[in-house]
Amino acid sequence: MCEFCIQHGEGKKWYLTMENYSLELLDQEDRREYAAKFLNGFHKRVPPEIRQLDRIRKTPLRMLAKPVLTRNQKRDHYGQVVPMEDVERIFDLVQGAVRLPCVCRRVTTGNMNARYCYGLTMDQQLMDSLDDSFSLETLTKDEALDSIRKLDKEGLVHSVWTFKTPFIGGLCNCDQDCMAYRITHARKDYPVMFRAEWVAEVAADACNGCRLCMRQCQYGAIRYSSNNKKVTVDPTVCYGCGVCRAVCNKDAIALAPRASMKEAVDVW
Ligand code: SF4
Ligand code: SF4
Ligand code: SF4
């Protein structure tokens, strides 16, 4: 269990706790204003922040800055990777979804209308406070799940996101154009999301060594051995997203609870 499960999920998966999606939470701590300001200003605010981070990285200040940035991020806007089966369970807890353009891709690719984000609250006041560039699409649960299942097959990694923790406002579908991927994994600046509560395992007997899964894994967690012509997953690198399963014609990959994997139990 990650620390949010202990703090915000009473020891169960925090993102499967209905209260964390509730209007009662949205009503508190100016969350609507926070979310609207976060989303409306993202593509203007983040590039200067990244430049500032680049400057700090070159100085000894980076060691001091990291815990402060991490603490603030956990308080305000933190994510966790979730595999498709948990996405299905999350949609049992919400009314539907609002699809909107991905703000990270606005920054990293310049595409202002890459529609990979799903708002999990149908709150009209919040929707009205987003600027016109978001052109929201309201989806039923089934429509949202159908479209996210297709993204899963493409290898996009799902994650939930807080807007002033523990309120969960969004579900994202990401590739390496994602700011969270870059800051947490590629640049290793500081963590902005947890890995999933899961880790992938390969059944060696079933694997034919085709290596399709290696191309699907965004995190470089799958290794091939020419010795036995099989792949293995490094549990200390795996994020538990589960998207490698979608390309395996041999059904050789399964997710196991992170808690059951001693090398990965404390790797978040
Ligand atoms: S976390 Fe992913 S889907 Fe969400 S805004 Fe960033 S790249 Fe887009
Ligand atoms: S896709 Fe499946 S069969 Fe192919 S290498 Fe990966 S685990 Fe093995
Ligand atoms: S090996 Fe792990 S990180 Fe890579 S795609 Fe599979 S579940 Fe995701």
**Spans of all domains in the chain:** 3-194, 198-260
pTM above 0.85, yes or no: yes
pLDDT digits (tens, 9 = 90+) for 157-167: 999 999 999 99
Q: Rounded CA gap, 167 and 172, in Å?
A: 15
Among the bound ligands, the one closest to the CA of 181: 1
Nearest to 116 by CA among 127, 103, 130, 101: 101
The model's pLDDT over 102-154, given as tens digits with 9 standing for 90+, comes to 999 999 999 999 999 999 999 999 999 999 999 999 999 999 999 999 999 99
How is domain 198-260 classified at the architecture level of CATH? 2-Layer Sandwich (3.30)
- Which residue's CA is the closest to the ligand 3 atom numbered 2? 238
Ligand 3 centroid vs 220 CA: distance in angstroms? Answer: 8
Type of residue found at 209: G
Nearest in space to 16 (alpha carbons), one of 25, 6, 5: 5
Q: From atom 6 of ligand 3, which residue's Cα is the shortest distance away?
A: 244
